[in-house]
Amino acid sequence: MAPVNDGLRLVLASASPRRLELLAQIGIRPDAIIPADIDENPRKDEAPRAYVARMAAEKAACIAAAEPGVVLAADTTVVAGRRILGKPEDETQAAAFLRLLSGRRHLVLTAVTVQSGGQARHRLVETTLRFRPLSGADIAAYVASGEWRGKAGGYGIQGRAAAFAPWMQGSFTGVVGLPLAETAVLLESFGVRAPHGIREITQ
């Protein structure tokens, strides 16, 4: 069956191919993909949860101000302690992030906002992961793979970094970039429905 949106115009406020692929898994295809151009720098002393929620809300509001229909926006960040690990700027920073995460637990926060007109609804999904101790060779090989590019925390759990995380509690799809169960509920509240429904798998 072809993906359907129940006749509503859905705008994905993200250029992430992973989010587009995740939506396709539940039979939803956006009518437009329009990344939001906003300042994504954390504010001084901004807490990680507040930051990621603000990012998703601002992305949705930015696109909803100019586009009709239902706007879906999300933001994902990795948190080690209170430190926000965004997308690495280069290989050196990617390796530094992996060294920081090696052998310890960390949080992955994904905020989702769905907005239509002046109404917006939000969800914040938290997942805890533990990385095994990573050797210098592990880190060097991963950085050389290039998978860290464009990914919060410098890794993608859906790729080679799956071998780094022997333990996870929460939403796998949330770590990838869009928690499907929560997103489906938000979309349905605005009339955008997956054709057969979904079931989220937690680990």
Annotated catalytic residues are 75
Residues sharing a CB contact under 8 Å with residue 126, sequence separation 6 or more, in sequence order: 107, 108, 109, 170, 174
Strand partners, 168: 129
Cβ–Cβ under 8 Å, residues 38 and 75? no
Cβ–Cβ under 8 Å, residues 53 and 122? yes
Burial of 122 (0-12, 13-18, 19+ CB in 10 A): middle
User: How far is 110 from 201, CA to CA, in rounded Å?
Assistant: 16
Q: Using the 8-state DSSP alphabet, how is residue 132 labeled? A: P
